[in-house]
Amino acid sequence: MSGRARAMQVETETSNLPFIYRQYEREQLLDALRKMHLIRRFEEGAEECYMRGLIHGTMHLSIGQEASAMGICMPLVNEDQITSTHRGHGHCIAKGADVKRMFAEFFGKTTGYCAGRGGSMHIADVSTGNLGANGIVGGGLPIAVGAALTAKRLRTGKVVVCFFGDGANNEGAFHEALNMAAIWKLPVVFVCENNGYGMSTSTARSTAVANVADRAAAYSMPGVIVDGNVLSDVAEASHDAVERARRGDGPTLIECKTYRYRGHSKSDRNRYRTKDEIDDWMTNRDPIKRYEAQLIEFGIATSDELEAIRNSVQQEIDAGIEFAKASPMPSIDGLADNVYTLEA
């Protein structure tokens, strides 16, 4: 609020600036950058640990999609809730999770967010409103609508953001969920992170409409397309949708056009896209580079300050990995813990 007030005072100088620079304080802008770095370094750290055999299973990395996770979460408060996806590390961090406990979860330790029972694909932090990643494509969509139903019925004022990928837009659950959110005017924001590929199958080959957001029309809700690699554009679309939801005007579908640099998962041979395509996104459209360039251009931070943020993020990552390594393994006796709430 004070950011907006300040922006109004200096409206003549700032009115041409992109949304976030008018909406948020410097500290919030730098925190967003810090979290974007944290997401990327977390995933690079997790990948490294995986290569070294410290983490088993598989993981789905969102490197290249950081602006989408962060921009969407900027207008949210801690009590607002999200449902996330198998590519959900970024959502988890953007919503406020501690990377120490995320690493611990990936290491399968008791100190992890899911006590070592969920791993990467079920990472969650209910205390910051993250109801969990999901191993089923489209699985979180109706659940988010249910969370929004609770918010409306119990008048909690919460907004629910439902992240999903382009692959989910061809699941029946997507259509059923959007329809119900619309007929019941629920406070939910559907966010499609369209990275162009559902595993190996491009959206052009899988999806009958040019944009996932085009499908919003079928459910009488606004469909908004943004460059998912431009933090301010994502945050602005999210802000509008969250406000609309909080007013009681119902759901919005936002489509963030973005790209994942890594393969689908650890088994991906990357034979369905070209090196040129990947290089183009990495070189010319990287969300972190673009945001850093703006912060300098608009005089919000110096390159030394940005360097300091990167260094502090690296320290946090290193400490997180150390915490995970040092944490205890679950006892085998606890195999059946939490199958039920009240143990028999």
Partner 1 sequence: MNAPVREISYSQAIQEAMAIAMESDERVILMGEDIGVYGGAFQVTGDLIDRFGPDRVMDTPISELGGAGVAVGAAVTGLRPIFEFQFSDFAALAMEQIVNQAAKMRYMLGGAVSVPLVMRFPAGSGTGAAAQHSQSLEAWLGHVPGLKVIQPATPHDVKGMLLAAVADPDPVMIFEHKLLYKMKGPVPEGHYTVPLNKAEVRREGHDVSIVATSIMVHKALEAAEVLAGEGVSAEVIDLRSIRPIDQETVIASVKKTSRLICVYEGVKTLGVGAEISAMIAESEAFDYLDAPILRLGGSETPIPYNPELEKAAVPQVPEIVDAARGLVRGVR
Positions in the binding site for partner 1 (CB under 8 A):
81, 83, 112-118, 122, 124, 126, 131-132, 134-136, 139, 141-151, 153-154, 156, 172-173, 175-177, 179-180, 183, 337-342, 344
Q: Residues near 195 by Cβ (< 8 Å), separated by ≥ 6?
A: 64, 65, 165, 166, 258, 259, 260
Question: What minimum distance in Å lies between the beta carbon of 125 and partner 1?
Answer: 8
Distance of closest approach, residue 35 Cβ to partner 1, in angstroms: 22
Residue whose CB is less far from partner 1, 143 or 225: 143
Residue closer to partner 1, measured from CB, 181 or 225: 181
Q: What's the min distance (Å) between Cβ of 44 and partner 1?
A: 25
Q: In terms of CB distance, is 220 or 312 closer to partner 1?
A: 220
* Closest approach of partner 1 to the CB of residue 168, in Å: 12
Minimal distance, residue 177 CB to partner 1, in Å: 5
| Residue 82: CB minimum distance to partner 1, A | 12
What's the closest the beta carbon of residue 153 comes to partner 1, in angstroms?
6
Cβ proximity to partner 1: between 143 and 226 the closer is 143
